[in-house]
Structure 1
Amino acid sequence: MGERRFEVVSRFKGAGLTLPQRQTTHAAGYDFAAAEDFLLPSIWKMNFVKMFRKINNEHELMTKDFQRAEQSLRPLLVPTGIKVTMPTDEVLLLVNRSSSPLKRFLSLPNGVGVIDADYYNNEANEGEIFFQLINFGIRDQLIKKGDRLGQGIFVKYLTTDDDQPADQKRQGGFGSSGR
């Protein structure tokens, strides 16, 4: 069957991190916290606002304008210092806390993060879980070590009867299995 448990990754051993936990008896999600202080800048202070001005003033946009705007709108990866092992027929879904967009203007731009069982102990980052976040508020947000970032929910998944996955070993995360 396999074991399901959270662990601290090597680079944060001894840093006093708390393993994710459910906050109430019937909560589905395990709350994840930031492993260190992290400044998440407001998207409104970034270069893409300059691009909107150029569009509004009918300036011709150059490749570098698009590149700057795209770079500024990228989510940032907030470290948790946590990895997870789980049975091979499960996935850990990373989701927003309901209060994050309302109170802090922080959101997961991909909607739901997916942590597969084979992400655990991968060579690229030991399977550390990161939350992709974007700050759509006006002010920069300082996320303090220990602040809750989001929730993780374990879910069993099904495969088709004729399933034949590619015979490929995971190299890391965030698009490591291809485009």
Structure 2
Amino acid sequence: MKRIAKFQKVSYEQFTEGWIDTFGATNAEEIKTIYDHIKLPKRATSGSAGYDFCSTVAATLQPGEMLKIPTGIRCEITDGWVLKCYPRSSLGFKYCLNLVNQAGIIDSDYFFSDNEGHIFMKFKNNGNMVVNINEGDKIAQGIFVEYGITVDDDVTSVRNGGFGSTGK
């Protein structure tokens, strides 16, 4: 197996910024406790392709409701590879809980962004049942995929931003 990436926590300052942007002002002690409990993604078994991401927040999603979760995670990825993030199959299959963008694409240069490559997950409850998420629940899985580029590709620009920054 090729070893091509490493998960890390974003800095406490970056996590705090992402948390406040998502949920508004919160007690600094509460944010620090949440930050200290962040788990790096891990595979459940030696045969698992996906690395499980855990929720940093407890929440209840009503049908049609959306929730953005700052994971506190960043990933340093070797060039030529991408991390693709999907909802855990049980959440999608049982509850119709989906990532709003269907699949998150984490490029290797996202790690160097102004937001430290902070990975967020935004879910929508597309089902007809209330979905409860507990802090620490496995909510998504990330799978590393190798990719290629065209023979006439001559891109030299460098990313310096978060979501949507390459479309500016």
TM-score, L = length of structure 2 = 0.76
The one-letter code matched in structure 2 to 1:95 is Y
Residue in structure 2 matching 1:151, options 141, 153, 159: 141
- The 1-side partners of 2:90 and 2:146 are apart by 26
Q: How does 1:22-171 map to 2 (within 5 A)?
A: 22-43=43-64, 75-123=66-114, 125-165=115-155, 167-171=157-161
Greater alpha carbon shift after TM alignment, 127-136 vs 104-113: 104-113
RMSD: 2.4
Q: Is the 8 A contact 1:38 1:78 kept in 2?
A: no
For these two proteins, the number of residue pairs brought into alignment is 147
Structure whose residues are more often strand by fraction: 2
The one-letter code matched in structure 2 to 1:30 is Y
The one-letter code matched in structure 2 to 1:5 is K
Deviation, structure 1 residue 103:
2.4
- The 1-side partners of 2:113 and 2:6 are apart by 16
Does the residue aligned with 2:167 lie in a helix, a strand or coil?
Answer: coil
The one-letter code matched in structure 2 to 1:24 is T
TM-score, L = length of structure 1 = 0.72
In structure 2, runs of 5+ residues without a counterpart are 16-31
- The 1-side partners of 2:92 and 2:53 are apart by 16
- The 2-side partners of 1:119 and 1:4 are apart by 13
In structure 1, runs of 5+ residues without a counterpart are 47-74
The one-letter code matched in structure 2 to 1:176 is S
Residues 99-143 of structure 1 show CA distances to partners (whole Å, capped at 9, x for unaligned) of 1122233112322110001111411x2211111211123344332
Correspondence for 1:16: 37
Q: Is the 8 A contact 1:34 1:147 kept in 2?
A: yes
